[in-house]
Amino acid sequence: MSDRTKEQFAAFKLPLVLIGAIWAAFLVDLLVPLRGLLALVPRTAGGARGIVGMPFAHLNFQHLIANTVPLLVLSALLVAVGRGWRSVVLIALLNGALLWTFGRPAAHIGASGLVYGLAGLLLVLGAVERKLLPILASVLVAVLYGGALWSGVLPTQEGVSWDGHLTGAIAGGIVAVKTPRGKTGTGKAHNA
């Protein structure tokens, strides 16, 4: 394998592993129901498992697909701006903690909080870092997902975790601001 091929594979590693893990959990859930164990239920002891588990539980195939496509796009952009697993994990945990603390008393499942978190991080990162690549990523996210982001954080659709979307976007913004400038999440300097 050439160095260029290795570099290209490394760029897609995070999105592929992230989506692969979510799909694997969905397939396991078809055989051994896990959704109830992975759901986040605000302010309940058992529901605290969802702080970590929520992104891995999906209601059905359509729900999974609806999160897969934006996760692929946004996690690829995340890698392009020099961020990595650290940002993904921080967003997922902070989103879960905020939703568990402030969310409506319902069973929240799905990776959409992470989707909104990645979008929030990428939107805020352009303003925080003031570098060309993060600014371009911010503009691209605004163009591709701006309308969906705005409508997704409003309580307009029955059965949709708008509060999970909102806490995800807030978590992404916090991670963009609080993660040391110029760090990729792996300790390497970011030169973009």
- Please give the distance of CA 59 from its chain centroid, rounded to a whole number: 17
Q: Assess contact for 91 and 114: CB atoms under 8 A.
A: yes
* Half-sphere exposure (Cβ direction) of 23: Cα atoms closer than 13 Å: 12
pLDDT single digits (tens) 127-151: 999 899 999 999 999 999 988 888 8
DSSP structure class, residue 1: -
Contact 74, 115 (CB under 8 A): yes
Distances (CA, A) of 150 to 60, 77, 145, 166, 183: 24, 20, 9, 9, 29
Query: What residue ranges define each of the domains in the chain, with the CATH number in brackets?
Result: 3-178 (1.20.1540.10)
What pLDDT was estimated at residue 181? Answer: 56
E strands, the chain, in order: none
- What pLDDT score does 189 carry? 41
Task: Write out pLDDT tens, residues 59-83.
Answer: 999 999 999 999 999 999 999 999 9
- Measure the CA–CA gap between 157 and 165, rounded to whole angstroms: 12
User: Higher model confidence: residue 101 or residue 158?
Assistant: 101
